[in-house]
Structure 1
Amino acid sequence: MKKVALDCENCFTEFINLLNDLRDLIQEGKRHGMNDDTRSRLVRLFEKTHDAALETIAAYFRKQGKAPFSGSRDATVEAFHADLIDDGQGWLDMIICRIKYNPLYPGDYLGSLAENIVNKYIHFLEDFERTMGKNLDL
């Protein structure tokens, strides 16, 4: 079954809902500590939130009549050039970090990814929320 392309506003609403859940989980982790279960939940929720941001970007450009992107890196670069995101390198780092993370292999990458989400990536997503909200007049 083919996925129906959502309009930009619906994508953005989904992104905001996930971002709010991510904020809540980060606060919960700060209050009660970050064990491996919390870190795993944090990474899964971050991935969903980041995907929703990328889908919002794609929908925004579709609305403007631009061709689809071949991947998340292309969408990120285009979003940076269109001033939808402020830190293009930071967003590319998020993509690379997600590619490197694989829960099937042992190692402490889970800890470093969770730390990056809490200390850096959440701020990139919050900046995107503000910028896109202005662009959509929400």
Structure 2
Amino acid sequence: MKTTPLTCEKCFADFKESLDELEDIIKSAKSHDLDEKSQKRVIRSFEITHELALKTIGEYFKKMGRNNHLGPRDTTVEAFNEDLIDDGKAWLDMIIDRIKYDPLYPEDFQRDLTGNIIRKYFNSFLNFERKLKEKMD
């Protein structure tokens, strides 16, 4: 089976599709009580969207001739330095919150993470989408 190589454009399209899905889930969650099942749906969609954003940033750097493989934190810092993201702290907080949400930690963090996603991380994704689109045009 032949696989299509990843490109920045393909990763960006996947990210945008995931972002649209996250938006739909957030709108649905806002119109209903945020029960545990709804919170898990928001978080799962957020995690996928965040991973796709990081993959898109990595492919963007490859396209620009910077072929170094960075972890999420370093990728985030580089994206901030390259003006792909405008709120570096929020993006670093995403990484920290995803670590805190790990089931290995006994703390009940689900409600806090869901609130952060709805209040600030979703808007950070929208700003990234806008900035990368401008750079790619």
TM-score by length of 1: 0.92
- 1:62-101 alignment to 2 at 5 Å? 62-101=62-101
How far off is 1:10 after superposition? Answer: 0.4
Aligned residue for 2:48? 48
Q: Deviations over 1:69-124 (max 9, x none)?
A: 33001110100000000011111111111111123655430000000000010010
- In the other structure, the counterpart of 2:109 is 109
> How large is the RMSD of aligned CA atoms in angstroms?
1.5
Instruction: Flag as ranges the 4+ runs of structure 1 deviating above 2 A.
Output: 67-70, 103-108
Determine the structure 2 residue equivalent to 1:131. 131
User: CA offset at residue 32 of structure 1?
Assistant: 1.3
The alignment of Structure 1 onto Structure 2 pairs a total of residues equal to: 135
User: Residues 20-73 of structure 1: CA distance to partner in whole angstroms, max 9, x if unpaired?
Assistant: 000000000011121100101111110000000000000000011103233001
Change (3 A) 1:55 1:42: same
* 2:57 is aligned with 1:57: yes
Corresponding residue SS for 1:122: helix
Q: Which runs of 5+ in 2 are unaligned?
A: none
> Residues 16-55 of structure 1 correspond to what in structure 2 (within 5 A)?
16-55=16-55
For structure 1, which segment, 63-72 or 85-94, has the greater mean C-alpha deviation from structure 2 after superposition?
Answer: 63-72
Give the letter for the 1:121 counterpart: Y
8 Å Cα contact 1:103-1:110 kept in structure 2: no
Cα 1:76/1:30, change in 2 over 3 Å: same
> What is the distance in 2 between the residues matched to 1:102 and 1:126?
25
Runs (5+) with no aligned partner, structure 1: none
Aligned counterparts of 2:80 and 2:5: Cα–Cα separation in 1? 22
Amino acid at match of 1:113: L
Percent same amino acid at aligned positions? Answer: 47
